[in-house]
Amino acid sequence: MKTAELSGVALNWAVAICEGYKPKDFCPHDKHFRDEEDVWFSPSDDWAQGGAIIERGGFCFEFDPEAEEFTAFYPTKQGSPEGVGENHLIAAMRCYVAYKLGDEVEIPEELEVTA
């Protein structure tokens, strides 16, 4: 699946993989990873989780008022991966996944329908 199209549970799954979660720790019943405190890992819609990634990552943002969307940039020596989304969290998480995993990500089939 294209990283730029990831959303919801599929985006959270990809971010979890980037953060070192293992696919075996994914709960197919509720379609979430759980962190060490048994809290769902949902960084694309939880500021406490996604904000921590943004803070340590050094992301830059731009807002396009015509499109009403944010673009997150992650400056690196290899270029500048970016992610676009309707808010800072979604844009940054797409950018983070693009930086770590590339422009396309293999996600479990059961998540493709919710992406």
Q: Is residue 100 part of a domain?
A: yes
Q: Which pLDDT tens digit goes with each residue over 14-26?
A: 999 999 887 767 7
Residue 55 belongs to domain spanning: 3-104
Q: Is residue 115 part of a domain?
A: no
Count the Cβ atoms, other than its own, within 10 Å of residue 43: 24
Q: Which pLDDT tens digit goes with each residue over 78-110?
A: 677 899 999 999 999 999 999 999 999 998 877
- Give the CATH number of the domain where residue 86 resides: 3.30.2120
Q: Is residue 18 part of a domain?
A: yes
Q: Is residue 109 part of a domain?
A: no
pLDDT band at 115 (very low <50, low <70, confident <90, very high): very low
Q: Is residue 112 part of a domain?
A: no
Q: Is residue 43 part of a domain?
A: yes
Q: Phi and psi of 42, rounded to 5°?
A: -140, 65
Instruction: In whole angstroms, give the CA distance from residue 49 to residue 39.
Output: 10
Query: What sign for the dihedral angle of Cα 97, 99, 101, 106?
Result: positive
Q: Quick one: which of 112, 81, 67 has its CA closest to 18?
A: 81
Query: What's the number of domains the chain is made of?
Result: 1
Instruction: In whole angstroms, give the CA distance from residue 102 to residue 76.
Output: 14
